[in-house]
Amino acid sequence: MFFSKREQGYTPWAPRKAPMFNTSLNATYIKLPAALILSSALFIVGVVSSPMIMSLVKLDTGLFMVKTNPVAVLPVAKVKPIIKAPEPAMTSAPAEQASSDLIVPAIPMSTEAVKTTTKIAAEEILKRDYGVSTYDALLFINSAKDASSKTGIDPSLLLAVAAKITKFQLLNGKKFIGVMNIKPELYQKEVQKLKLENISYSTIDGSFRLGAEVLLTYFNQSNGDMSAALNKFISTNKLHDQPTITEVLELKKQFEGI
């Protein structure tokens, strides 16, 4: 259905009139320009009148400032420069004394290696040079020590004498001669002493003890001269290939310390 413009309520030739306080759309169109004009006028008035107002009214600027107490500035103290005293000159005497305190004894140097002598145990000497077993070697050494404790004759000397006379061979054929080849019939006094202690000279212990007693007898007869006592002992009990006293004493040194 088609309507004319007049029928639709639109009259372009008639001005629209709306009351001032009407809430219609036409009233809104009128209020917005009025408010804009009013605010603009107030802004212009404020800009123009502000210098005049500021000249008449004095603001207390102290309200916006933080009050602080004045700080007293202390004067800077003058520092005197420190002058280092010169070190005293060292004389030659303290230097010589200091150098003498630091003297290290010189270590002798040689191009050849230092030869150290390693002492071989008596047990090893008996096994190596006389072919005895470890058990027999220890038995010979302990028997010499026991005889030494009863007579005072050095056990190393007893071992050296036995080594040079019999080489620790106890038998001559089938006959027992002991470690020093002593003829019991020549030394009845010493044999009788062993019998009183229930010691048989036909054993290793007894043969060492009999040899120590005989050597002690010769020592006392020689007025404490062991070389003379050895000479008598060797000449009596070793008829052939007698060792010298020097050989016996040199061998004694190898057995020392047992």
Here the CATH number for the domain that contains residue 176 is 1.10.530.10
What is the pLDDT, as a whole number, of residue 62? 52
134-151 and 155-165 helices, crossing angle to 10°: 120
Task: Please check whether residue 90 lies inside any domain of the structure.
Answer: no
pLDDT of 172 higher than 90: no
Long-range CB pairs of 136-139, under 8 A, 24+ apart, other chains included: 136/168, 139/204
Q: How many residues in the chain?
A: 258
Same structural domain, 46 and 165: no
pLDDT of 50 higher than 90: no
- Alpha helices, DSSP H only, in the chain? 25-56, 92-101, 122-130, 134-151, 155-165, 188-196, 204-221, 226-237, 245-255
Same structural domain, 153 and 243: yes
CB 129 within 8 A of CB 122: no
Task: Please check whether residue 70 lies inside any domain of the structure.
Answer: no
Q: Specify the number of domains making up the chain.
A: 2
CB 248 within 8 A of CB 161: yes
pLDDT of 20 higher than 90: no
Who wins on pLDDT, 14 or 131? 131
Residues contacting 54, CB < 8 A, separation 6+: none
What is the pLDDT, as a whole number, of residue 241? 80
Task: Please check whether residue 107 lies inside any domain of the structure.
Answer: no
Same structural domain, 10 and 131: no
Lowest mean pLDDT, pick from 92-96, 166-170, 201-205 = 92-96
pLDDT of 15 higher than 80: no
Which two tokens mark 132? 């005895």
Domain containing 200: what range? 122-255
Output the average pLDDT for the chain: 75
Distance between CA atoms of residues 254 and 252, nearest Å? 5
Task: Please check whether residue 238 lies inside any domain of the structure.
Answer: yes
- Sign of the torsion formed by the C-alpha atoms of 60, 61, 65 and 69: negative
Domain C-terminal end among 13, 30, 53 = 53
Same structural domain, 131 and 250: yes
What is the pLDDT, as a whole number, of residue 78? 58
In this prediction, residue 194 has a pLDDT band, given cuts at 50, 70 and 90, of very high
Task: Please check whether residue 160 lies inside any domain of the structure.
Answer: yes
What is the pLDDT, as a whole number, of residue 188? 93
Nearest residue to 165 (alpha-carbon basis) of 228, 221, 225, 248: 248
In this prediction, residue 176 has a pLDDT band, given cuts at 50, 70 and 90, of confident
Same structural domain, 251 and 135: yes
Task: Please check whether residue 86 lies inside any domain of the structure.
Answer: no
Same structural domain, 161 and 42: no
CB 146 within 8 A of CB 244: no
Task: Please check whether residue 110 lies inside any domain of the structure.
Answer: no
pTM for this model (two decimals): 0.55
What is the pLDDT, as a whole number, of residue 187? 93
Which two tokens mark 64? 């916006």
Task: Please check whether residue 93 lies inside any domain of the structure.
Answer: no
Same structural domain, 139 and 245: yes
Domain C-terminal end among 12, 31, 53 = 53
